[in-house]
Amino acid sequence: MPPDLGAYYPQDYYPVPSSLSELEAASENERFKLDLITSFIQKGKLLEVGPAFGNFAYLAKRSGFDVEVIEMDSRCCEFLHTVAGIATIQSTDAAQAVQDKEPYDVIALWHVIEHLPNFQQTLDALASKVREGGILIMAAPNPEAWQFRILGRYWTHVDAPRHVVLIPVELLLARMRKFGFAAVFMTMTDRGGIGWNEFGWQYSLSNFAKSRSIKNVLFLVGTVLTRIMVPFEVNDHAGCAYTLIFRKEH
C-alpha cells in the first residue's frame, strides 16, 4: 500500500458542481439510495461518510433528515458547507471524527469502505454511533463477482491503490453481528448495482487497449456483454457491487 494514498486522488477525481442548480440536477441520479433508506427510516440524524460533493447528502437534507458529512477533499468540503448548506467535517479519519458525536439514526457509506486502510476500526467506531433501532448502510464492490472471477487483476473495480480492500459480504455480516446489528436487506440488483455491472464490463474491456478508437469499440462490446451476462450477474450474489442495510437491535 502506498504511504500517501492522497496522491492517487487528483482534483478531477471529484468533479465538483459549479452551482447549486447543477448539484440539484445531478442528485436525481441518487434518489434510489434515498428511497431505499426511507423504506426503513423516514427522518432523524443522518451521517454520510465520504459524500464527495454531496449528491445523496443533499437529497437527504431536502427530504427532512438532519444531515452531517465527513469528507477528506477540501474542495468538496467547501462546496458542501457554503453551497449545499450541509454540516461538514473535513477529516481522513472517520473513526476519530465521530468520537464525541451523539448517536445517529442513519449512517451511510456509499462505496467508501473499500477505500479505507483501517476499515475494521472505522466500521467499529461507526457501529457504536448508531442508536438502537437505527440503520447502517454500506455499498461496496463484491469480491465474489462474476467479473472478478473472469478478469482477475484486470477487473476495473480492483482500482488499486485507491481500493485497498475488497470485503466479502460474509465478513461484514459477522462483524456487524458482534455489535448487535442484524442484516435486514441485501441487494446486488438495485440501480446502483446494475450500473456498476455495466461500468465493470465497459471499462475493464476498454482498458485493454491504448488506441482511443479501439477503446471505444471495446467499450461498446462491454455494453453488449452487460446484457448477455444479466442472468449470471443477478443470481447467486454474483454482481459487481452489493448494498447492505444493518439495523441495530441492541
pLDDT, tens digit (0-9, with 9 covering 90-100), for 205-216: 999 999 999 999
Q: How confident is the model at residue 9 (pLDDT cuts 50, 70, 90)?
A: confident
Phi, psi of 97 (to 5 degrees): -65, -30
Flag whether 227 is in a domain: no
Q: How confident is the model at residue 202 (pLDDT cuts 50, 70, 90)?
A: very high
Q: Could you tell me whether strands 66-71 and 45-49 are parallel, antiparallel, or unpaired per DSSP bridges?
A: parallel
Cβ-defined contacts of 228-234 (< 8 Å, 24+)? 229/146, 229/197, 229/201, 232/146, 233/145, 233/146, 233/147, 233/188, 233/197, 234/188, 234/189
pLDDT for 78 equals 94
With H, G, I as helix, E, B as strand and everything else as coil, classify residue 41.
coil
| Cα angle value 159/27/54 (rounded, 5°) | 65
Classify residue 207 by its DSSP letter.
Answer: T
Flag whether 214 is in a domain: no
pLDDT for 168 equals 96
Percentage of residues of the chain with pLDDT beyond 70: 100
pLDDT for 6 equals 80
Average pLDDT value for residue range 89-104: 95
pLDDT for 15 equals 82
Domain count across the chain: 1
CATH code of residue 136:
3.40.50.150
Average pLDDT value for residue range 107-112: 97
Flag whether 50 is in a domain: yes
Q: How confident is the model at residue 236 (pLDDT cuts 50, 70, 90)?
A: low
Flag whether 221 is in a domain: no
Mean residue pLDDT across the chain:
93
Flag whether 218 is in a domain: no
pLDDT for 249 equals 95
Phi, psi of 51 (to 5 degrees): -80, -5
Residue 161: cis peptide before it, omega within 30 degrees of 0: yes
- What the block records as the C-alpha cell of 114 is 473499500
Boundaries of domain holding 155:
5-190+237-248
